[in-house]
């Protein structure tokens, strides 16, 4: 009997933490109340809300978050979920204000097909997306529609392929032309 009581106590101790991690946060609730469709993906290890949106609604979604106070795009990046799987473009946003001890944070994720990964550029909302979107394009081949200068930033202009994709096959050599 004592063993069952211990298991019951352990279950009660774990449950509130799990609920807090899976229950939508204030940003997700606000977006849902205002008609912005998204999927709550949970929270990361620091407690930041993770929100999934489809590419078609990224701009209205990001604009709403900007109006809600998320005035700083700390990081935009991308990753490959694995060979044959989707590519992901993510945006880590922060509410920067003078009176907050710890700024509020949220991360948006947009899942894209490998064959034609196209997503609207958020450059016109946060100018800091400029080089970050170019890097994601250069390494993963994600096209940021509407970006003012979407071209390679790390690799040579004539490089073939997207080096950070998990199915990328590295060439044996790269011939540097017109180097002098």
Domain boundaries along the sequence of the chain:
23-145
C-alpha 147/C-alpha 123 separation (Å) is 6
Quick one: pLDDT at residue 158? 87
pLDDT at 50 exceeding the cut of 70: yes
- Our measurement of the distance from residue 126's CA atom to the centroid of its chain's CA atoms, rounded to an integer in Å, reads 14
pLDDT at 2 exceeding the cut of 80: no
Supply the mean pLDDT for the chain. Answer: 87
For the domain made up of 23-145, give the CATH fold: Beta Polymerase; domain 2 (3.30.460)
36 versus 100: the higher-pLDDT residue is 36
pLDDT one-digit tens code per residue, 94-139: 999 877 788 999 999 999 999 999 999 999 999 999 999 999 999 9
pLDDT one-digit tens code per residue, 14-33: 444 455 557 899 999 999 99
Average pLDDT score over residue span 143-157? 95
Quick one: pLDDT at residue 176? 61
Quick one: pLDDT at residue 154? 94
Quick one: pLDDT at residue 91? 98
C-alpha 166/C-alpha 82 separation (Å) is 6
C-alpha 109/C-alpha 41 separation (Å) is 9
8 Å CB contact between 31 and 64: yes
Quick one: pLDDT at residue 98? 77
Question: Nearest Cα to 161, choosing from 138, 131, 177?
Answer: 138
SS3 116: coil
Average pLDDT score over residue span 23-51? 94
* Side-chain half-sphere exposure of 60, counting CA atoms within 13 A: 10
Residue 145 phi/psi, 5-degree rounding, is: -65, 130
pLDDT at 155 exceeding the cut of 80: yes
Handedness of CA 37, 118, 167, 88 (dihedral sign): negative
- Token pair, residue 134, equals 């170019």
8 Å CB contact between 65 and 93: yes
8 Å CB contact between 92 and 74: yes
Q: Max alpha carbon distance in the chain (Å)?
A: 82
8 Å CB contact between 41 and 109: yes
Quick one: pLDDT at residue 177? 58
C-alpha 66/C-alpha 32 separation (Å) is 16
Average pLDDT score over residue span 42-70? 96
Quick one: pLDDT at residue 17? 47
């Amino acid at each position: 009997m004592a063993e069952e009581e211990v298991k019951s106590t352990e279950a009660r101790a774990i449950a509130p933490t799990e609920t807090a991690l899976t229950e939508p946060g204030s940003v997700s609730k606000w977006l849902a109340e205002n008609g912005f469709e998204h999927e709550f993906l949970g929270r990361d290890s620091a407690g930041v809300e993770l929100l999934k949106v489809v590419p078609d609604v990224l701009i209205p979604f990001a604009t709403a978050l900007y109006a809600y106070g998320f005035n700083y795009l700390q990081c935009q990046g991308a990753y490959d979920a694995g060979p044959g799987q989707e590519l992901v473009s993510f945006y880590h946003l922060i509410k920067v204000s003078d009176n907050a001890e710890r700024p509020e944070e949220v991360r948006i994720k947009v899942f894209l097909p490998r064959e034609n990964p196209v997503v609207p550029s958020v450059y016109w909302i946060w100018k800091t997306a400029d080089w970050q979107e170019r890097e994601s394009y250069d390494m993963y081949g994600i096209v940021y529609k509407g970006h003012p200068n979407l071209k390679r930033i790390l690799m040579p202009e004539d490089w073939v392929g997207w080096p950070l994709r998990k199915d990328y096959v590295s060439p044996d050599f790269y011939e540097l032309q017109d180097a002098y």
